[in-house]
């Protein structure tokens, strides 16, 4: 049976769809993988001078800051709140009263939002977003390094795992008990199964096909998102700080 799935731009996806799906899968075996995929489908957050709201929370107006203050965006929010409290009669930033316009002498009046000029806020938002990406990247690199260091003491052990991503070169698994992620490469998969393994793009799966001359026969096997497998920790990639597993 052939099923035609509409393109993402043809579907009006709303936060309520995520909320309903989360309610339906709560407590079910597929909850973990679907929750993982829902999070990955969301765009990364970014700072902006405009009121963009928050998609996942279905909020038209949204801001976020931490306490105690530990980031520059937090300081900007606190400065803006302090200014607003000191200027209760000031026009809101989204009204025409604060939009950029031209003076009688032809010189433009720069739009301001609270204590900042709009162009300043746009620059702050852009730089803050970039800094957040760099911080996330550094955090991931540290986590990968510490995970690899931890798993060095568990090489040769077997684990129950969940397939969380399938690529042309293999599939990534997350261990069920200790939430460590690693790779089962397609080459190692072929060694284990004795079958020719190919990536199937239409459903993002890897298919192990029986072939002539293989060490083992057997039926076709498909490895896809959400499948549970048993794996053995084989080695640590010293360059990527990545754990590599083999299929049991």
One domain, residues 25 and 83 = no
Cut 0.85: pTM above it: no
Is 27 a domain residue? yes
Domain total in the chain = 3
Torsions phi, psi for 178 (to 5 deg): -115, 5
One domain, residues 185 and 219 = yes
Structural domain for 31, as ranges: 8-41
The whole-number pLDDT of residue 18 equals: 79
The whole-number pLDDT of residue 163 equals: 92
One domain, residues 129 and 170 = no
Is 47 a domain residue? no
Residue 235 has pLDDT above 60, yes or no: yes
Give the Cα-Cα-Cα angle 167, 170, 175 (nearest 5 degrees). Answer: 100
CA-based diameter of the chain, in Å?
87
Torsions phi, psi for 181 (to 5 deg): -105, 145
Strands 221-223 and 112-113: unpaired
pLDDT tens digits, one per residue of 187-202:
999 988 888 899 998 8
Torsions phi, psi for 165 (to 5 deg): -160, 140
pLDDT tens digits, one per residue of 192-231:
888 889 999 888 899 998 765 545 556 788 999 889 999 9
Q: Are 225 and 33 in contact (CB under 8 A)?
A: yes
240 vs 144: CA distance, rounded Å: 8
Is 201 a domain residue? yes
One domain, residues 91 and 14 = no
| Mean pLDDT estimate for the chain | 81
Q: Minimum mean pLDDT among 97-106, 108-117, 125-134, 186-195: which range?
A: 97-106
């Amino acid at each position: 049976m052939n099923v035609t799935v509409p393109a993402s731009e043809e579907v009006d996806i709303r936060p309520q769809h995520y909320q309903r799906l989360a309610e339906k899968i709560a407590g079910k075996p597929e909850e973990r993988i679907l929750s993982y995929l829902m999070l990955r489908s969301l765009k990364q957050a970014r700072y902006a001078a405009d009121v963009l709201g928050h998609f996942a929370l279905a909020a038209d107006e949204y801001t976020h800051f931490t306490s105690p203050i530990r980031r520059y965006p937090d300081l900007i929010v606190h400065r803006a709140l302090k200014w607003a409290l000191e200027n209760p009669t000031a026009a809101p930033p989204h009204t025409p009263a604060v939009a950029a316009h031209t003076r009688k002498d032809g010189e433009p009046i720069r739009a301001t939002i609270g204590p900042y000029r709009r162009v300043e806020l746009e620059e702050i938002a852009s730089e803050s977003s970039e800094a957040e990406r760099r911080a996330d990247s550094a955090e991931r690199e540290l986590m990968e390094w510490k995970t690899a260091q931890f798993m060095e003491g568990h090489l040769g052990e077997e684990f129950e795992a969940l397939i969380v991503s399938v690529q042309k070169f293999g599939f990534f698994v997350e261990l069920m008990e200790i939430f460590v992620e690693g790779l089962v490469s397609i080459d190692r998969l072929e060694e284990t199964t004795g079958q020719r393994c190919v990536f199937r793009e239409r459903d993002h799966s890897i298919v192990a096909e029986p072939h002539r001359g293989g060490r083992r026969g057997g039926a076709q096997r498909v490895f896809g998102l959400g499948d549970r497998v048993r794996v053995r920790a084989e080695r640590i990639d010293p360059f990527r700080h990545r754990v590599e597993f083999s299929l049991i």
